[in-house]
Amino acid sequence: MSALPPGSVIGMLGGGQLGRLMALEAARLGYDVHTFCPEPRSPAARVSSAETVADYTNDAALKAFAGACDVVSYEFENVPAAAVAAIESVGVPVRPGVAALENSQDRKVEKEFLNSIEVPTVAFESVHSPENIQPAVEKLGGAGILKRRRMGYDGKGQARVEAGDDMAAAWTALGSAPCILEAMAPFKLEISAIVARGLSGEIAAFEPSENGHANGILRASHVPASIRDETRTRAIASATRLAEALDYVGVIALEFFVLDDETLIANEFAPRVHNSGHWTPEACATGQFEQHIRAVAGLPLGDPTRLFDAQMDNLLGDEAETAFGGPGVTHYGKREAKAGRKMGHVTRRLGPAT
């Protein structure tokens, strides 16, 4: 398994900020990035060397794109598995592979998979009609979070429900789609463990960050997290087990609820670089975007050691305009600042690592 030589082309399915930040690191390492995204001139495409504008179900476009690439990766988890198959059919590897997509696109499959590798999650019930909701709420102790199985992100596609609520209304509000009902996790804080797995199976783990959410959307991450060292070790061990079980190549993120006694309950995982790792380029010897490119290109992984204490704040909606050009600000170059939309982030170093 040899590394891609300089000038090789890394294909990127998706055109958002994660793809943009990976493309910049790919360029620095000496690679070209070719994006594939349904919207023209995406944030990632505008810093890449080539762009395909087509739908993820366009088989001919996927094959032509693959033919122009040496390896293909993705920057969001809702790429259809069939798109990966189309790319692989022309002999181009997709890293990470399809198992990571299949096990993260559906919240029920995801939770069953995590539990099967002894990474515990909250209790949950499967919901396929509005009549299922009330009995499921009662079974889980009178309250829970109803989540669409597919296509939810940033707190979208989920709603809190309590016994006696109008379940038909909750079902309709979530689009009358298959759901799970999750028990509420009584957490004291949330953390995420982000690890990279290289082409030859080596693991490089970032230190878990502590994450604050508002309305289901990440607002801030900071390191060090206020947890015991032993808890950090357990979180990294679970993320490592997940990467190994998926035969994963690239950066993967596993989110946890931390209970009062520091029991870890996994929430969800993302088969990609993660918003809660946006502090890593400024605070670690190697950042998550470079690390992902290194892994998919078959380069040795970089050193993930944390050098600084740091705080990363997301810039949502018009916050990015106010902060624009300030120290530590990364702007995503999105054209339209809708309320609540992730437009950028700012990372502050708080001093040498403690």
Interface residues toward ligand ADP, by CB under 6 A: 122, 145, 152-155, 182, 184-185, 190, 213, 216, 255, 267-268
CB of 93 vs ligand ADP, minimal distance in Å: 27
Question: What is the smallest separation between the CB atom of 265 and ligand ADP, expressed in angstroms?
Answer: 8
H or E stretch at 297 = helix 288-297
CA distances from 154 to 50, 158, 225 (A): 29, 10, 21
Q: Find the residue with minimal CB distance to ligand ADP.
A: 185
Task: State the residue for tokens 């809660």.
Answer: 276
Which of 156, 210, 211 shows the shortest CA–CA distance to 340?
156
Q: Which is nearer to ligand ADP, 149 or 197 (CB)?
A: 149
Q: Work out how close the CB of 274 gets to ligand ADP at its nearest, in angstroms, rounded to a whole number.
A: 10
The neighbouring-strand residues paired with 348 are: 311
For ligand ADP, the closer of residues 182 and 210 by Cβ is 182
Closer CB to ligand ADP, residue 76 or residue 308?
76
Q: Which is nearer to ligand ADP, 204 or 315 (CB)?
A: 315
**Which backbone phi and psi does 288 adopt, to 5 degrees?**
-65, -30
Q: At residue 143, what are phi and psi to the nearest 5 degrees? A: -155, 160
Pick the closer one to ligand ADP by CB: 41 or 213. Answer: 213
**Could you tell me the smallest distance in angstroms from the CB atom of residue 191 to ligand ADP?**
10
Q: Which two tokens stand for residue 164?
A: 């006696």
In the bound state with ligand ADP, the residue whose beta carbon lies nearer, of 86 and 133, is 133
Report the C-alpha gap between 269 and 77 in whole angstroms: 10
Q: Is 307 helix (H, G, I), strand (E, B) or coil?
A: coil
Min. distance of Cβ 85 from ligand ADP in angstroms? Answer: 25
How many other β-carbons are positioned within 10 Å of the β-carbon of residue 301? 21
- Nearest CB to ligand ADP, comparing residues 42 and 267: 267
The residue among 105 and 286 lying less far from ligand ADP, judged by its C-beta, is 105
Joined tokens for residue 354:
């403690």
Q: Are strands 179-182 and 143-148 parallel, antiparallel or unpaired?
A: antiparallel
Q: How far is the CB of 213 from ligand ADP (least distance, A)?
A: 4
Minimum separation from the CB atom of position 215 to ligand ADP (A): 8
Kindly report the backbone phi and psi dihedral angles of residue 328, in degrees, each rounded to the nearest multiple of 5, phi listed first: 75, 10
Closest listed residue to residue 289, CA positions, set 299, 276, 300, 280: 280
Q: Tell the smallest beta-carbon distance from residue 190 to ligand ADP (Å).
A: 5
- The dihedral sign for the CA sequence 237, 241, 242, 244: positive
Cα distance between residue 316 and residue 67, in whole Å: 37
Q: Which is nearer to ligand ADP, 152 or 287 (CB)?
A: 152
Can you read off the two tokens belonging to residue 199? 């082409």
As a residue count, the chain comes to: 354
Least Å from the CB of residue 327 to ligand ADP: 28
Residue located via tokens 């090789």 = 8
Q: What is the CA radius of gyration of the chain?
A: 20
